[in-house]
Amino acid sequence: MNGSSSVPFLSADDVNSLVSMSDTIEALRAAFSERRPAPERGVAPFDLGNLLTMPAVAGPSAGVKIITLVPGNPERGLPAIQGLYVLFSAVDGRVRALLDGGCLTALRTPAASGLAADYLAPVTATTIGIIGAGVQGRGHLQAMLVVRPTLSSVVIASRSSESAEALVAVARAEGLQARVGSIQEASRCEIVCACTSAQQPILPDSLSEWTFLSAIGAYLPDQAEMSPSLVASADVWVDAEAAARVEAGDLIQAVDAGTWAWNDLRGDLVDLVTSAAPLSSDRPRIFKSVGLSIEDLTLADLAATRAGIEP
């Protein structure tokens, strides 16, 4: 931890040393069980990407994540997501801490997928396909191993052969059988994680009935990783319905195509955590995530508290 004496700064290394993926999954489980609200995200586009602002308040804490998302940055040797989190006290309004914003996204997005997988993925799953081998691909592999330690093999699909081989090495270091494959091969696994910046559908139009798919790309209405046909073929869950109706391009486009309707939505993370909706067993299960501000606040508050920074 470093920074000025009045406002501590928690770097990515600080946050990762204070909070594990397992910690994050359990913190999100508690947050959704309390039905904490998640205000809408603000999006301001610029030439190469978007500026995003994500405010939230819960109990004695408040905060806002301010990040830029530039999909082409990895090709320039820069992170796709860069930013800052400002954590406030909701008791007296002071700034409690500043945190690296990119690392919060890198942790909480796969943790949310892991939380959903804990309820929706096959209990004895042994195979996982990762589509997109960047920061989120690595994080999703880590999260799925937390909730499904039965996993033994992984297929990595990526536009970048270098990134794919790097993630294969990470998986092998975890004791998994790992190889580079196609999107179609990755999609035949029991657990599939789509972690791409795709603008148009890249996934097959159908999946096996036992498949769990977490799709985290397409956070704007004109983007999609999944086709309307794929959406219509599965039971769909989201992180929060209000956010999905505004931001989940895959689902919005399925509605526009007339193949799926919001009434077909099975539920959200609150429903999963509180067992408010039944599960079916004869269709693929999709978790569509757009990312919620309450997830960032939950993680930032946990890291700050463990660093001794009180509300």
What is the tens place of the pLDDT at every residue in 109-146? 999 999 999 999 999 999 999 999 999 999 999 999 99
Strands of 114-152 (E only): list them. 127-131
| Beta pairing partners, 288 | 215, 238
Instruction: Give the residue carrying structure tokens 């997928």.
Output: 113
Give dist(CA 104, CA 311) in Å, integer. 19
The length of the chain is: 311
- Per-residue DSSP letter, 73: G
pLDDT value of position 4? 47
Q: What is the pLDDT of residue 276?
A: 64
In one-letter notation, the amino acid at residue 92 is D
Q: How far is CA 130 from the centre of its chain?
A: 13
Quote the crossing angle between the two packed helices 101-120 and 21-33, to the nearest 10°.
70
- CA contacts within 13 A on the Cβ side of 269: 37
Using the Cα atoms of residue 115, residue 117, residue 123 and residue 125 in order, give the sign of their dihedral: negative
CA distance 152 to 12: 29
Distance CA 265, CA 236 (A): 5
Show the low-confidence residues of the chain (pLDDT under 50). 3-4
Q: What is the pTM of this model?
A: 0.93
For the record, the structure tokens of 240 come out as 């929060």
Query: What per-residue confidence (pLDDT) applies to 44?
Result: 93
Type of residue numbered 184: Q
What is the pLDDT, as a whole number, of residue 248?
Answer: 95
Can you list the positions of beta strands (E) in 123-207?
Answer: 127-131, 153-157, 177-180, 191-194
Q: By the 8 A CB rule, do 110 and 267 touch?
A: no
